Amino acid sequence: MDTEEYRDHPVRSYVLTSGRAHPSRNTLRPETLVRAVESRPVLSTAGRLERELVQLCQGTLALAEVAAYLALPVSLVAVMVSDLVDAGNLTIRSNHQAHVLPGKDILEKILDGLRKL
């Protein structure tokens, strides 16, 4: 994966996200699932990376996967995803709240699934 380009331009993340260093939604985590909203065309003002991001999300992926495929840091992709959710191009698939831990019922389902592997 080519990270040199990013490394060579330390201010790039700020430029790309219009100067904001933190995502507007602190609910986004590396494992948060996102997906493109098919009926919603990407605004003509959106950048190449935003388009590429929405294109990647034609199926469900976690934020960290999107970051890995775009060869960008998770923190930067979180900002872009947040903006694209606001614009209606992406939807957050995982229906749990940040900070809320999975309940015992979820852990039981995970255990069942792991035992079947």
Partner 1 sequence: MDSASSDRPVPGQHLAPTVARSVKILVVGAFGVGKTTLIGAVSEIDPLRTEERITTASVGIDPGQPNKDTTTVAMDFGRITVTEDIALYLFGTPGQRRFWDLWSGLADGAVGALVMIDTRHLEDSFEVLDQLELRTKIPFAVVVNQFPDSPDYPLERVRAALDLLPETPIVECDARDRQSAVLTLITLVEHAMTFPVFQKVNA
Output Rg (C-alpha) for the chain, integer angstroms.
Answer: 16
* Max Cα-Cα span within the chain: 48
Among the listed ranges 15-23, 38-46, 81-89, 95-103, the one in contact with partner 1 (CB under 8 A) is 95-103
Q: How far is the CB of 41 from partner 1 (least distance, A)?
A: 20
CA 41 to chain centre: 18
Q: What distance in Å separates the CA atoms of residue 107 and residue 100, rounded to the nearest whole number?
A: 13
Q: What distance in Å separates the CA atoms of residue 41 and residue 12, rounded to the nearest whole number?
A: 26
Among 16, 37, 64, 87, binds partner 1 (CB under 8 A): 64
Q: How far is the CB of 37 from partner 1 (least distance, A)?
A: 14
Amino acid at 105: D
Contact pattern for partner 1 over residues 14 through 53, marking x by CB under 8 A? ---------------xxxxx------------------x-
Among the listed ranges 17-25, 37-45, 69-77, 81-89, the one in contact with partner 1 (CB under 8 A) is 69-77
